[in-house]
Chains A and B, each alone.
Chain A
Amino acid sequence: MVKQGDKVFLPVEVPGASYQQLETEGIASVFDPLGIKYDVVDCGTDPAGIIAKMTDYMVANNPPAIIALGDSVAASVKRVFDGAGVPAGKIPVVGWGNSKETAESVKSGFINAAAWQFPSAQGFMPVALLGLAAAGEPIGYDIHTFSLYDASSVEPILKLYNK
C-alpha cells in the first residue's frame, strides 16, 4: 500500500510530547530501512483548527497513507476526508482509537484499524496482578491491555460508547 519514496502523513496534537516522540521513533524504525518518508504535522489541540489543518494538508499533498498519532486527530479523519473530497478507504489510515468518532470511522471504513487502550482496563489489570502477587500467587505471564481493532472487531467498542 505504501512504497519506497512515499511520504506518510503523521498528524499530531502536541508535537514534542512523549507519545509523539515514542511513536515517531517506532515508525522510523520500520519506515527508514524501507526508504519510506513521513511528515509529522503540528495540528494543535483546537478541534476546528485540527480539521482545518489536516484538510489543508490532504488537499495539498494527497498523502498515500495516514498514521494518526493521537486520539483527537484520529477522531477528525472522517470530517477531513469529507472536506478534502476523499472517499472512505481510498488510502490506508491507522491511529488511536479511544473515541466514539474513531470507532464509527473504523466501522464506516474511513479508518482501517485503530489502537484500543481503554484506560480503566489498563489500570485495573496490573493492580489485579499485583494483588495476586501479594497474595503469594506466582505471576508467570504478561497481560496485554492494548490491541488493534478493525471493522470486524469494532462492535463491542461501539456498544460501550453508545451505552
Chain B
Amino acid sequence: MTIAAEEEMPRAKRRSSLIRSPQFSSLVILIVLLAVFAIADANFLSPLNISNMMAFLPELGIIALGMTLLLTAGEFDLSVGAVFGLAPVVVMLLVQNGGFDIGVALLAGLLLCIAIGAINGLIVTKIGISSFLVTLSMLLVVRGAALYITQGFPLKSWDQPGFFVTLLAGSFNIGTFRFYTSLWWFIGLSLLAIYILRYAKLGNWISAIGSNRNAAVARGVPADAVKIWLFILTSVLAGLAGMISAFRISAASPVAGTGYELEVIAMVVVGGTALTGGRGTILGTIVGALMLRSIRNGIVLIGVPGLAYNIFVGVIILAMLILHALLQKNAARS
C-alpha cells in the first residue's frame, strides 16, 4: 500500500461518518421540506415570512439548547413551558406592583429559575424519582403559581424602552429582513452549547452520564452534580426565553409557554438527539428548531384549513421521524 492511500482512509472514513450522523439526515430532510414549501408557495421565502419565522424561532430554540444537554445526560424537563410563563410574570409584577428597578426584577426572575431547576435536579438525583414525574409535577406547580399570582389576567404591557428591553428584544434590519436581538442570543448560546458538548471536558461527562451512568460514576465523574446544574441551566434558559418573548410582544401572560415543553422536545428529537440519553447534537437541534418552525409556517402557507393544522403538524413530524429512522438504518448498513 502507498502512503497516499493510507492517508486517504481516515478522510473517507470521516466523510462517511458525517453522512451517517443523525444530524445529517435531519439536515437533508429540512432541505427537502424547505424546497417543497418554497415551490408550493412563493411567499414562503419572502423576506417578510422569513422575518416572521425568525421572530418566534429563537425563543423556542434557546429552550431547546438546554433541553438537548439535559436529554444527552439522560433526563427530561417538562416544566420549561411553565417556567417560560412564570419568569416574566414575576419580573413584571415586581416592577409594576412592587416598584422595583427592572434590572433588580430581572435578577430576581433568574434566581427564581435557578431555584426551580435546583429543586428539579435535587429531587431527581438525591431522591431518585424519574425526571418525567418530577418535572411534570413542577409544571403544575409553576403554571399554577403563575395563574395564582396574576389571578389569571395577563399583565399590562411593558412599553418603556430601555437598556434591558433593547438587550433582550431590540430589533434591527438587514436589507428587507427584520430580526430581533433574540436571534443573536440564540446564535451565541448555540455556539456555547456546541463548544460544551463537543469540545469541553464537561461535554464528555454529559454524554458519558447519559450513555452509562454507572461507568461515569465509576470513573469519578460527579454525575449528580452535573445533572443538577443541567436542570438549573435548562430552567434559566426557559426563563430567559420567556423574558425575551414577553418584552418582544410587550405583555406577560400567565399562560404563555403552554405546550412548549413538547414542542421543544420534538425539536430536539427530530434533530437526532436520543431520547434515551448518551447521544446529543446541538447542530441537530438547530436543524430541528428550523424544521418545526417551517412546518408550522409552511402548512398555513399552503392553505391547510384552519382547524386542521395540528393533524398536518403531527403527520409531518411522524413522517420525518420514520424517514429519519430509515435513513439511519440505511446508513448503518452501508
Asked if A59 and B249 make an inter-chain contact with CB atoms under 8 angstroms apart, the answer reads: no
Q: Nearest B residue to A46 by beta-carbon distance?
A: B258
B4 at the binding interface (Cβ < 8 Å): no
Could you tell me the distance between the alpha carbons of A72 and B259 in the complex, rounded to whole angstroms? 17
Name A55's closest neighbour in chain B (CB-CB).
B52
**Would A59 and B301 count as touching, CB distance under 8 A?**
yes
Indicate if A64 sits at the interface (CB-CB under 8 A): no
Question: Is A28 an interface residue when CB atoms closer than 8 A count as contact?
Answer: no
Do the beta carbons of A83 and B52 come within 8 Å of each other? yes
Q: When the two chains form the complex, which single residue of B41, B259, B302, B305 contacts A39, counting CB atoms closer than 8 Å?
A: B305
Query: B52 contacts A60, CB within 8 Å?
Result: no
Query: Is A84 located at the chain interface by the 8 A CB criterion?
Result: yes
CB distance from B192 to the nearest CB of A (A): 24
Are A61 and B303 also in contact (CB < 8 A) when A46-B259, A56-B297 are?
yes
Main DSSP-derived SS at the B contact region? helix
Whether A150 sits at the interface, judged by CB under 8 Å, is no
Bound: A85/B156 CA distance, A: 25
Using an 8 Å CB-CB cutoff, how does the interface string of B16-51 with A read, 1 for contact, 0 for none? 000000000000000000000000010100101101
Give chain A residues whose Cβ lies under 8 Å from the Cβ of B309: 41-42, 53
How far is A15 from B301 in the complex, measured between Cα atoms in Å? 20
A46 and B255 form a contact (CB under 8 A): yes
Closest chain A CB from B144 CB (angstroms)? 16
Interface pair A40/B301, CB less than 8 Å apart: no
A39 to B307, CA, bound (A): 8
Size class of A's contact patch? Answer: 20 to 34
B67 shortest CB reach to chain A, Å? 17
Tell me the complex Cα distance, A44–B52, Å: 18
Instruction: Give the tally of cross-chain contacts (CB within 8 A).
Output: 85
A contacts with B: majority SS: helix
Contact B259 A48 (CB under 8 A): no
B247-285 vs A: 1/0 string, CB under 8 Å? 011010101111110000000000000000000000000
A149 to B56, CA, bound (A): 32
Q: Decide if B154 is an interface residue (CB 8 Å cutoff).
A: yes
Asked if A60 and B48 sit within 8 Å, CB to CB, the answer is: no
Which residue of A has the minimal Cβ distance to B310?
A42
Decide yes or no whether A151 CB sits under 8 A from chain B: no
Judge whether B55 and A42 touch: CB under 8 Å: no
User: 29 A–B contact pairs at CB < 8 A?
Assistant: A42-B307, A44-B259, A46-B257, A46-B260, A47-B245, A47-B249, A47-B251, A47-B256, A48-B56, A48-B59, A48-B245, A48-B249, A49-B259, A52-B52, A52-B56, A52-B296, A53-B296, A53-B309, A55-B52, A56-B301, A57-B306, A59-B43, A59-B48, A59-B301, A60-B41, A72-B154, A83-B55, A100-B157, A101-B251
Tell me whether B300 is interfacial, beta carbon within 8 Å.
Answer: yes
